[in-house]
Amino acid sequence: MHNSELFMEYLPFFIPLIILEVALMLTAVVHVLRHPHYRFGNKALWLAIVILFQLVGPVVYFVFGRGEKA
């Protein structure tokens, strides 16, 4: 089995995961841009974490970085 055949076989499993990852990242980016209060760091730091560490970054932001509602 060639790599392309293997990729096509698993593609139906990857598409929903990719969609969820992108949705989570976009949700976190919008939240970072709209909310001025963070527990740790600043807006630039959290944007970098959310975008560069796509799956883990948004989770870390929502658990540790999101500040109280203003």
**Angstrom distance (rounded) from CA 46 to CA 44:** 6
- Render pLDDT for 14-33 as a digit per residue (tens, 0 to 9): 899 999 999 999 999 999 99
What does DSSP assign to residue 1?
A: -
Residue 70 scores a pLDDT above 70:
no
The rounded Cα 63 to chain-centroid distance in angstroms is 12
The overall average pLDDT reported for the chain is 86
Q: Taking the domains of the chain in order of start, what are their residue ranges?
A: 19-70
